[in-house]
């Protein structure tokens, strides 16, 4: 758990953080988003003491961070930044092993741990001897995630970690990270400037502006209620539509059909397609419904109304 | 393409000029008297060798050109490298009739033709990537022909035989002085480079300090160092027992060390500077201590560029060490200045040629080391091209 109490930071006349209160629950992923210069990175970097606070206090798992030596604190927190920052002179193995080595783990434990991480992020073991320059952008990013997770920290701090990869790869690695997060349930504080990324990964989204958190809501909850004018403008009028990217077939109410009873043509989508893709497919088909074949060969019909119902539930916070 | 064609025309033009019109050497009955110029046409041996050479070359050209143009070029290179040694051998064997001379004192000095020949060869070879290796190979051949007594009458060889013992002492003193002063500059140089990188407010001071030595002419710097040192040793006689005196090893060592600082500091600074900010930031964020960051991240990643600075420093230092001869610091400079004072150009050459060879060798060895480091560190090649 991460708790920030009345945290402030100034650079000269500029207020980077203005009396911020925030708490990230165990196993929760909070995404900080906002225009550049809003203080989101400063907030993140104040937690591992790369930035020193002017006022307020930060508790990590109940302990005030100023009670730790800065290096000891940082070794407990997984940290992943934009551009990965892999060490070019070290192999993938040595890059991932850095924090465990700093914590003086024995070698077999490190090897075991790295094995697990490579499986988790879907990297082949043959990559362990490669140098970073031999990896593609997406692979390097995965190694970056492995490195942040290496010493099995309960808390992950991620500073626009996927900002530097191309859009295709970014989406893949976002989905991979979401899967990992579902499995490991880390306490994550994630900085981004990409709303789609926030919608996809966040349990709660914190919108920051001029050093303040203007709104801290679930992705669905962000739309409802009294909103700040800035927040409204920032999330955009098409926000509900963008929300659809977060959900898949399993979140929808569907009609099961027999093998060959329906005349509705089969769409090319599958059960992992997002509801945004499903909506697009319905709009293209010109009808009110489409049929999708699942992996187990069973077929389902999805109606336009089911999508509307999903959005209603999301906006009412019945589904997170 | 255009410049390489120009080089070939110029190179062969010079070789042709040297082979037909210019005196390749000078035959002297003894060290001081004026000698008789030796033209290529006088050198029966050289003409024969060249003719043989060309005919074999033609043979190979016709045979190989069709199959493998590369082999043809290789053969051309080999023949160019052999040419100076062959010219020297012919010169040494030159027979001069009509004058009386003592075979022990008689010698052949190098003439303008030989230098033009050498220049032509170098211009042609300079377009090959492995130019420095080729040059080293050529020099090795010449040294080998001297060692196997193929060029006994060459003035250079005669001078060497005269001063053999002191030559070896001078050579080892030169190497000791050049290496020790360059090595002593490495650690302070790297630290100063790191300080000017990590504390930007000190950078101007550090750079100003090391630039000062580079801007001051070496000779005047020597003079400046000699005065306080001699005062010191007069005030504290015990210092002179340790070798710290106004003349000799100490002032030369100090000046050379100071001279080595600039390339090392500048390259170390550039090396630390080019380490990716994201890498440093993640090193810090993962909980590495400042020392760990320096030792495990910054330094290894800066090392290829630092190595290039050490290479520059050592290579220039081998040349600068000549000046130690002026302040009694020994080294090959002593031979060169002796040769100058006795108007014995061969002695000057005997002192200078080893300096050139050593500088070339150190440059080559360090270049290889540098590339190894670049490979190990996974750093990109172009980062090594830094200013000095």
CATH number, span A247-315: 3.90.1280
pLDDT at A71: 92
Helices (H), chain A: 40-47, 70-76, 92-96, 98-102, 107-121, 137-149, 167-184, 195-201, 229-235, 239-243, 275-285, 304-315
| CA-wise closest residue to A79 among A115, A49, A112 | A49
- Give exposure, B191-220, as e/b (b: 16+ Cβ within 10 Å): ebbbbbbeeeeebeebbebbeebbebebee
> In this structure, are B190 and B96 located in the same domain?
no
B246's tokens: 């106004």
- Give exposure, B286-303, as e/b (b: 16+ Cβ within 10 Å): bbbeeebbbebbbbbbbb
> In this structure, are B148 and B171 located in the same domain?
no
CB contacts of B372 in chain A (<8 Å) are none
Residue ranges in chain B whose pLDDT is less than 70: 1-2, 44-69, 71-72, 97-98, 378-388
| CA-wise closest residue to B352 among B313, B312, B325, B314 | B325
CATH 3.30.1540.10, domain A2-243, yes or no: no
pLDDT at B385: 37
CB contacts of A75 in chain B (<8 Å) are 286-287
> Distances from the Cα of B339 to the Cαs of A25, A269, B109, B283, B335, in angstroms?
85, 90, 14, 58, 6
Query: Does A247-315 match A2-243 at the fold level?
Result: no
Do A89 and B378 lie within an 8 Å CB cutoff? yes
Final residue of a structural domain among B153, B182, B197: B153
Do B276 and A133 lie within an 8 Å CB cutoff? no
> In this structure, are B296 and B360 located in the same domain?
yes
Instruction: Give this complex's ipTM.
Output: 0.82
CB contacts of A157 in chain B (<8 Å) are 285
Nearest CB partner across the interface for A50, out of B278, B285, B300 = B285
CATH number, domain of B320, equals 1.10.3720.10
Confidence of residue A107 (pLDDT cuts 50, 70, 90): very high
> In this structure, are B194 and B124 located in the same domain?
no
Do B378 and A132 lie within an 8 Å CB cutoff? yes
| CA-wise closest residue to B163 among B386, B338, B355, B356 | B338
CB contacts of B278 in chain A (<8 Å) are 81-85
More confident residue, B45 or A196: A196
> In this structure, are B213 and B110 located in the same domain?
no
Claim: this prediction has a pTM higher than 0.90: no
Nearest CB partner across the interface for A79, out of B276, B279, B285 = B285
> Distances from the Cα of A273 to the Cαs of A238, A285, A315, B309, in angstroms?
20, 16, 21, 57
**Distance separating alpha carbons of residues A88 and B283, to the nearest angstrom:** 12
Residue range A266-296, pLDDT digits in tens: 788 887 788 888 888 888 888 888 888 888 7
pLDDT at B35: 80
**Distance separating alpha carbons of residues B71 and A185, to the nearest angstrom:** 66
* B208 part of contact set with chain A, CB < 8 Å: no
**Distance separating alpha carbons of residues B361 and B140, to the nearest angstrom:** 11
> In this structure, are B212 and B318 located in the same domain?
yes
pLDDT at B387: 34
| CA-wise closest residue to A317 among A203, A152, A239 | A203
> In this structure, are B296 and B246 located in the same domain?
yes
> Distances from the Cα of B183 to the Cαs of B174, B323, B358, in angstroms?
14, 18, 16
Confidence of residue A151 (pLDDT cuts 50, 70, 90): very high
pLDDT at B59: 63
Enumerate residues 6+ apart whose C-beta is below 8 A from B114. B18, B24, B25, B84, B87, B88, B91
Number of neighbouring beta carbons within 10 Å of residue A106: 8
**Distance separating alpha carbons of residues B263 and B117, to the nearest angstrom:** 34
Mean pLDDT of A9-34: 92
**Distance separating alpha carbons of residues B42 and B24, to the nearest angstrom:** 10
Radius of gyration in angstroms for the set of CA atoms belonging to chain B, rounded to a whole number:
26
> In this structure, are B289 and B254 located in the same domain?
yes
| CA-wise closest residue to A209 among A226, A228, A195, A223 | A228
CB contact at 8 A, A246 and A54: no
CB contact at 8 A, A49 and A74: yes
- Domain layout of chain A by residue ranges: 2-243, 247-315
Enumerate residues 6+ apart whose C-beta is below 8 A from B66. none
- Give exposure, A45-76, as e/b (b: 16+ Cβ within 10 Å): bbbbbbbebeebebbbeeeebeebebbebbbb
pLDDT at A98: 93
**Domain containing B97: what range?**
2-153
> In this structure, are B265 and B364 located in the same domain?
yes
Q: Which of A27-41, A215-229, B363-377 has the lowest mean pLDDT?
A: A215-229
> In this structure, are B115 and B29 located in the same domain?
yes
Interface of A with B (CB under 8 A): 45, 48, 50, 70-76, 79-89, 98-99, 102, 131-133, 147, 157
**Distance separating alpha carbons of residues B342 and A223, to the nearest angstrom:** 97
Coil/strand/helix, residue A221: coil
Confidence of residue A299 (pLDDT cuts 50, 70, 90): confident
CB contacts of A76 in chain B (<8 Å) are 287
User: A81: part of which helix (H) or strand (E)?
Assistant: strand A77-81
Final residue of a structural domain among B128, B153, B178: B153
Is the pLDDT at A51 greater than 80? The verdict is yes
Half-sphere exposure of A194 (CA within 13 A, CB side): 16
Chain B nearest CA to A102, separation (Å): 7
Q: Which of A170-174, A205-209, B287-291 has the lowest mean pLDDT?
A: A170-174
**Distance separating alpha carbons of residues B221 and B216, to the nearest angstrom:** 6
> Distances from the Cα of B315 to the Cαs of B185, B267, B283, B386, in angstroms?
13, 15, 35, 16
Split into its structural domains, chain B has a count of 2
Enumerate residues 6+ apart whose C-beta is below 8 A from B185. B257, B258, B260, B261, B264, B313
> In this structure, are B307 and B351 located in the same domain?
yes
CB contact at 8 A, B44 and B156: no
> In this structure, are B88 and B190 located in the same domain?
no
Portion of chain A with pLDDT greater than 70, in percent: 98
């Amino acid at each position: 758990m991460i708790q920030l109490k009345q945290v402030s930071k100034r650079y000269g006349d500029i207020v980077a953080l203005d009396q911020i209160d925030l708490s990230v629950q165990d196993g929760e992923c909070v995404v900080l988003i906002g225009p550049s210069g809003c203080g989101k990175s400063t907030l993140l970097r104040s937690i591992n003491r790369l930035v020193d606070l002017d006022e307020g206090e930060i508790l990590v798992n109940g302990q005030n961070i100023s009670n730790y030596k800065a290096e000891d604190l940082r070794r407990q927190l997984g940290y992943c930044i934009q551009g990965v920052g892999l060490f070019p002179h070290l192999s993938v193995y040595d890059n991932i092993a850095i924090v465990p080595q700093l914590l003086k783990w024995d070698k077999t434990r490190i090897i075991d741990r790295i094995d697990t991480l490579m499986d988790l992020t879907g990297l082949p073991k043959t990559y362990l001897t490669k140098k970073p320059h031999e990896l593609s952008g997406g692979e390097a990013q995965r190694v970056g995630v492995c490195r942040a997770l290496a010493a099995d920290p309960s808390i992950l701090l991620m500073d626009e970690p996927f900002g530097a990869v191309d859009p295709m790869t970014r989406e893949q690695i976002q989905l991979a990270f979401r899967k990992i997060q579902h499995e490991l349930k880390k306490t994550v504080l994630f900085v981004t400037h990409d709303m789609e990324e926030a919608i996809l990964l966040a349990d709660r989204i914190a919108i920051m502006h001029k050093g303040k958190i203007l709104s801290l809501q679930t992705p669905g909850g962000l739309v409802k209620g009294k909103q700040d004018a800035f927040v409204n403008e920032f999330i955009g009028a098409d926000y509900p539509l963008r929300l659809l990217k977060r959900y898949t077939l399993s979140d929808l109410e569907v009609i099961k059909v027999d093998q060959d009873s329906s005349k509705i043509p089969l769409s090319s989508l599958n059960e992992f397609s997002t509801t945004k893709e499903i909506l697009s497919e319905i709009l293209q088909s010109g009808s009110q419904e489409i049929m999708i074949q699942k992996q187990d060969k069973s077929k389902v019909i999805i109606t336009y109304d089911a999508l509307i119902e999903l959005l209603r539930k999301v906006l009412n916070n019945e589904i997170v | 393409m255009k410049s390489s064609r120009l080089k070939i025309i110029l190179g062969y033009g010079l070789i042709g000029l040297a082979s037909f019109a210019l005196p390749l050497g000078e035959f002297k009955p003894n060290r001081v008297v004026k000698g008789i110029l030796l033209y290529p046409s006088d050198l029966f041996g050289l003409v024969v060798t060249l003719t043989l050479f060309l005919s074999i070359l033609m043979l190979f050209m016709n045979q190989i050109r069709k199959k493998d143009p590369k082999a043809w070029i290789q053969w051309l290179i080999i023949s160019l490298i052999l040419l100076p040694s062959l010219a020297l051998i012919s010169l040494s064997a030159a027979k001069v009739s009509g004058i009386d001379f003592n075979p022990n004192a008689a010698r052949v000095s190098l003439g303008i033709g030989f230098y033009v020949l050498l220049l032509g060869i170098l211009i042609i070879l300079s377009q090959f990537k492995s130019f420095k290796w080729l040059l080293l190979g050529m020099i090795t051949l010449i040294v080998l022909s001297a060692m196997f007594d193929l060029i006994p009458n060459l003035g250079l060889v005669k001078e060497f035989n005269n001063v053999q013992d002191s030559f070896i002492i001078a050579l080892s003193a030169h190497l000791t002085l050049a290496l020790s002063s360059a090595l002593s500059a490495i650690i302070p140089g790297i630290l100063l480079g790191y300080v000017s990188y990590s504390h930007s407010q000190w950078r101007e001071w550090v750079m100003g300090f090391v630039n000062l030595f580079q801007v001051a002419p070496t000779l005047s710097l020597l003079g400046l160092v000699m005065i306080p040192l001699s005062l010191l040793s007069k005030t504290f006689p015990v210092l002179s027992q340790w070798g710290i005196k106004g003349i000799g090893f100490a002032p030369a060592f100090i000046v050379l060390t100071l001279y080595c600082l600039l390339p090392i500091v500048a390259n170390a600074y550039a090396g630390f500077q080019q380490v990716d900010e994201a890498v440093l930031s993640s090193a810090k964020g993962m909980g590495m201590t400042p020392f760990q960051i320096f030792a495990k991240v910054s330094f290894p990643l800066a090392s290829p560029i630092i190595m290039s600075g050490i290479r520059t420093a050592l290579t220039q230092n081998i040349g600068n060490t000549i000046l130690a001869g002026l302040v009694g610091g020994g080294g090959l400079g002593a031979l060169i200045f002796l040769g100058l004072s006795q108007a014995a150009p061969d002695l000057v050459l005997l002192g200078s040629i080893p300096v050139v060879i050593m500088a070339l060798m150190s440059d080559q060895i360090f270049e290889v080391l540098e590339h190894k480091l670049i490979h190990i560190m996974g750093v990109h090649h172009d980062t090594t091209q830094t200013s000095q």
